[in-house]
Amino acid sequence: MTDRPVAGTIRISDDVLADLAGYAALQTFGVVGMASPTVRDGVAQLLSRERLRKGIRVSGDDVEKRVDLYVVLEHGTSLAEVARNLADSVRYALETYGSVRVSEVEVHVQGIKVHK
């Protein structure tokens, strides 16, 4: 049996790419969860696993994507290092599993959480 190319185009929706980014984010050390892009009364709203994509904005065209991540990080971690690792993890996941080119990953730290 030979592999033959199949004519057509595969398009992955931005919502699916946001889900991939959310799962990659939650596996990154120091990330507590995704947050709402809007902060109410100075408090970040932590989103449930079912609503991860609400804390992620994917934009761009079919060739290149930009990703904005709104996150809550763990207190006591290096915020800059966690943000850098997070951006790298999300870029890797989208380029490897989503087969899209990522031009930029912006990490917006909406809050920190102290574990007792």
- What is the pTM for the complete model shown? 0.86
Q: Is 66 inside any structural domain?
A: yes
Would 78 be classed as within a structural domain?
yes
For residue 42, what pLDDT band results from cuts at 50, 70 and 90?
A: low
Strand partners, 33: 72
> In CATH, what number is assigned to the domain containing residue 75?
3.30.70.1350
In a domain, residue 6? The reply is: no
Residue 2 lies in a domain: no
Asked if residue 3 belongs to a domain, the reply is no
* Tens-digit pLDDT profile for residues 47-103: 777 778 889 999 999 889 999 999 999 999 999 999 999 999 999 999 999 999 999
In a domain, 1, yes or no: no
Q: Give the model confidence (pLDDT) of 90-110 as tens digits.
A: 999 999 999 999 999 999 999
Residue 8 falls inside a structural domain: no
The residue segments making up the domain with residue 31 are 14-113
Please count the structural domains in the chain: 1
Residue 45, CA distances (Å) to 13, 50, 116 in order? 25, 14, 19
